[in-house]
């Protein structure tokens, strides 16, 4: 997926108060959008790096290596082994702190909410309400949604409205608690899409409401057929084993299939197999959003079916 500075900052902000953007990562994004983020104090430049860690297992006895000017650049020298010297550009030494409240405001704007977000709980902001009356919240850190009483706090803040939370990927148990409480969780990076103007990214407001899924997903193994939401999909002999891997996981305790588990059906890459599986559902009349709601990407872990085990019926 195309990288944008707003996506990068959203990912880095998961570190909480320690979230920083090092110059090495920032440099490719320098330009008008970056300058706007500086002006909005989403990014606040800190003092440049003045020292660097010593080499692993180094016996020099120094607590750190000072960074000194060296010709057109900078260098952190190892007093015992010049091969371990680290070279820097001036941009490499720049450091930016990420302002969480300002970042929350910018993400709210990307989703079309014009009013400033309101702090609803520790590190959880209410961005606004959709036209259908759904209350939309944002959490930048997973820890913000795993603390005791957070669901009750957000329900009180929502004042009876249905709740959607934009958040990082949560631990499975925390995600299950929110799901069981009727909260719609969306991974922020999954809906923060690149655009060519403004802040370089936007969120489609339609993605903030849950897609209603059929009560039962029926699978007929012998026919390689999947029936869902009143429609039938016959999967090819090449792609049905991929669906079976996801089905196997959906009916087990750990519902996420790793990329390597998916790839065990063939020599092809998991992302290509998943794309082809989703395309098969779209060819049968499902929208792109529906196909992604059924075959869900779990960032840094793999893929899962978006339907709980008790709503899946498997026939021979």
Whole-number Å distance between alpha carbons of 253 and 255: 6
For the segment 11-66, what is each residue's pLDDT rounded down to a tens digit?
A: 999 998 889 999 999 999 999 989 999 999 999 999 999 988 888 778 787 888 88
For 173-206, give the DSSP string: HHHHHHHHTT-EEEEHHHHEEE-SSTTSEEE-GG
Q: Which of 180, 208, 236 is the last residue of a domain?
A: 208
- List the one residue out of 23, 159, 27, 30 whose CA is nearest residue 93: 23
Q: State the alpha helices, DSSP H only, in 251-301.
A: 259-263, 270-283, 288-294
Q: Which of 68, 98, 128 is the last residue of a domain?
A: 98
Q: Are residues 115 and 174 in the same domain?
A: yes
Q: Are residues 92 and 154 in the same domain?
A: no
Range of the domain at 202: 100-208
Q: Are residues 88 and 154 in the same domain?
A: no
Biggest CA-to-CA distance, the chain: 72
Q: Name the pLDDT band for 2 (thresholds 50, 70, 90).
A: very low
Token duo for residue 35:
């300058």
Q: Are residues 139 and 91 in the same domain?
A: no
- Which residues neighbour 133 within 8 Å (Cβ) at sequence distance 6 or greater? 161, 162
Domains identified in the chain, total number: 3
Q: Are residues 23 and 35 in the same domain?
A: yes
pLDDT of residue 1: 37
Q: Are residues 253 and 167 in the same domain?
A: no
Whole-number Å distance between alpha carbons of 273 and 287: 18
Q: Are residues 153 and 69 in the same domain?
A: no
User: For the chain, what percent of residues have pLDDT higher than 70?
Assistant: 97
pTM of the prediction? 0.68
CB-CB contact of 299 with 169 (8 Å): yes
135 or 255, which is more confident: 135
Whole-number Å distance between alpha carbons of 215 and 147: 31
Q: Are residues 145 and 84 in the same domain?
A: no
- Within the chain, how many helices (H) and strands (E) appear? 11, 20
Q: Are residues 187 and 222 in the same domain?
A: no
Q: Are residues 48 and 138 in the same domain?
A: no
CB-CB contact of 199 with 38 (8 Å): no
Q: Which of 175, 208, 241 is the last residue of a domain?
A: 208
Q: Are residues 197 and 228 in the same domain?
A: no
- Which residues neighbour 181 within 8 Å (Cβ) at sequence distance 6 or greater? 151, 155
For the segment 188-235, what is each residue's pLDDT rounded down to a tens digit?
A: 988 888 887 777 788 888 888 876 655 588 999 999 999 987 788 999
pLDDT of residue 213: 58
Whole-number Å distance between alpha carbons of 263 and 209: 32
Q: Are residues 170 and 233 in the same domain?
A: no
């Amino acid at each position: 997926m195309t990288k944008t500075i707003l996506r990068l900052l959203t990912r880095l902000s998961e570190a909480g108060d320690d979230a920083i953007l090092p110059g090495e990562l920032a440099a490719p994004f320098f330009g008008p959008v970056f300058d706007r983020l500086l002006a909005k104090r989403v990014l606040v430049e800190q003092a440049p790096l003045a020292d660097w860690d010593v080499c692993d297992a180094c016996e020099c006895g120094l607590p750190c290596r000072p960074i000194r000017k060296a010709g057109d650049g900078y260098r952190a020298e190892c007093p015992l082994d010049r091969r371990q010297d680290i070279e820097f550009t001036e941009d490499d030494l720049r450091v930016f702190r990420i302002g969480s409240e300002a970042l929350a405001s910018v993400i709210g704007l990307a989703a079309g909410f014009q009013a400033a977000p309101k702090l609803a709980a520790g590190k959880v902001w209410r961005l606004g309400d959709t036209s259908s009356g759904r209350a939309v919240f944002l959490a930048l850190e997973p820890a913000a949604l795993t603390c005791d009483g957070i669901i009750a706090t957000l329900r009180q803040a929502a004042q009876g409205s249905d709740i959607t939370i934009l958040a990082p990927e949560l631990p499975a148990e925390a995600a299950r608690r929110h799901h069981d409480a009727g909260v719609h969780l969306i991974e922020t990076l999954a809906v923060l899409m690149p655009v060519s103007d403004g802040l370089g990214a936007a969120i489609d407001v339609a993605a903030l409401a849950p897609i209603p899924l059929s009560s039962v997903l029926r699978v007929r193994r012998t026919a390689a057929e999947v029936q869902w939401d009143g429609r039938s999909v016959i999967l090819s002999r090449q792609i049905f084993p991929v669906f079976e891997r996801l089905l196997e996981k959906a009916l087990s305790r750990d519902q996420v299939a790793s990329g390597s588990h998916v790839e065990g059906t063939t020599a092809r890459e998991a992302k290509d197999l998943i794309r082809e599986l989703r395309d098969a559902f779209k060819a049968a009349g499902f929208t792109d959003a529906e196909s992604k709601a059924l075959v869900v990407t779990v960032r840094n872990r793999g893929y899962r079916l978006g339907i709980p085990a008790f709503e899946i019926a498997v026939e021979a």
